[in-house]
Amino acid sequence: MDLFKESEDVVIFRVNKEDLNLEEFLFNMDVSGRLFRKLYKEKNIFVNGKFRRKGLTLNAGDLVSICMGKEQENITPDPIPINIIYEDFDLLILNKQSNIVVHPTKSHQHNTLSNGISYYFKEKGIDKKIRFVNRLDMDTTGILIVAKNPFSHQQMALQFEANEVEKRYLAIVSGVVEKDEDLIDLPIGREEDKSIRKVVTEEGQKALTKYKVIERYRNATLVDVQIFTGRSHQIRVHLHHIGHPIIGDTLYNEESPYIKRQALHSHYLNVRHPRTKEEIEFKAPLPKDMEELIGILSKE
């Protein structure tokens, strides 16, 4: 029997429990109904190497394969350097630089991170669409996750939606933070209908942020921040609300003579691998501009 070899395009599951049908089994493997229907319609779900009906009762030891095939990406490839932390069949983990937009827009079709990833995929012969799992503001640096197939994207999205991912940032804020650590549990919403600024408001969505002081300077503080929800501008809004906006954040603070962006960096991420379910962690070192800012603040 010609069984599939696990690869970038193929994910294989071994059945350990009898009496489940094919659809039930993949549902238990956290394959979404939408992805199942797409793969089934394309006849890309197999049992022991053969396409079988979704109502088939499985036996212990059966091998269920889902095949995702090649894809075409319509984002223009541009030779923009990308800093790769980790890569395998399912994931591309990047350390995003500052001052770069992640997605192309109607008025900004080139020089985005997506253009750089498209170029990298083309050079490496990776025929996949670009699927971002998390997001970072243009001037926030650090860990960015790209899923390389629909299965890994769906699996990672489930973890983020369930707040099962440990996300930690380093931020340098104005003023000396008094508490060594604290939990900020305040809802966040839009300031005005057409404003990009967000504020703490009773009408907003639940937002939970925990911070811990790493180092205090004369007029600033380095904090480690963990977020348990993924609201837009969450860290920036919460820190601004408690009176310690991020240095260089021109939307919630003021310009800084020492750094040309908000001093915010996604430095740590702990997730479960979409295929193996093993816990994996990623780290991104502090960028040069934040290191230089700390050096200046330490001498004041």
β-pair type (141-147, 264-272): parallel
Q: Using one digit for the tens of pLDDT, what is the confidence trace for 217-242? A: 999 999 999 999 989 999 999 999 99
Output the pLDDT for position 3.
Answer: 59
1-52 residue pLDDT tens: 355 667 778 899 999 887 789 999 999 888 988 899 999 999 999 999 999 9
Q: What is the pLDDT of residue 47?
A: 94
Rounded to whole angstroms, the maximal C-alpha distance in the chain is: 72
Whose structure tokens read 């994910």?
Answer: 11
What per-residue confidence (pLDDT) applies to 173?
A: 98
CB neighbours (10 Å) of residue 218? 9
Q: Do 138 and 100 touch, CB atoms closer than 8 A?
A: yes
Mean pLDDT of all residues in 71-97: 93
Render the chain in DSSP notation, one character per residue: --PPPP-SSEEEEE--SSS-BHHHHHHHTT--HHHHHHHHHTT-EEETTEE--TTPBP-TT-EEEEE-------SPP------EEEE-SSEEEEEEPSS--SS-BTTB-SSSHHHHHHHHHHHHT-----EESS---TT-EEEEEEESSHHHHHHHHHHHHTT-SEEEEEEEEES---SSEEEEE--EEESSTT-S-EEE-TTSB--EEEEEEEEE-SSEEEEEEEESS--TTHHHHHHHHTT-PBTT-TTTS---SS-SS--EEEEEEEEE-TTT--EEEEE-PPPHHHHHHHHHHHH-
Lowest mean pLDDT among 89-98, 99-108, 164-173: 99-108
Residue 243 identity (one-letter amino acid): G
Domains in the chain, please, with CATH? 10-67 (3.10.290.10), 84-160 (3.30.2350.10), 166-299 (3.30.2350.10)
CB 26 within 8 A of CB 20: no
Average confidence score pLDDT of the chain: 92
Its pTM stands at: 0.89
Catalytic residue among 9, 137, 139, 249: 137
Mean pLDDT of 155-172: 93
What pLDDT, in 10s, does the model give residues 180-212?
999 999 999 988 777 889 999 999 999 999 999
137 is catalytic: yes
Angle at 212 between CA 211 and CA 218, to 5 degrees: 110
High-pLDDT (> 70) share of the chain, %: 98
Tens digit of pLDDT for each residue in 240-272? 999 999 999 999 999 999 999 999 999 999 999
pLDDT at residue 4, as a whole number = 62
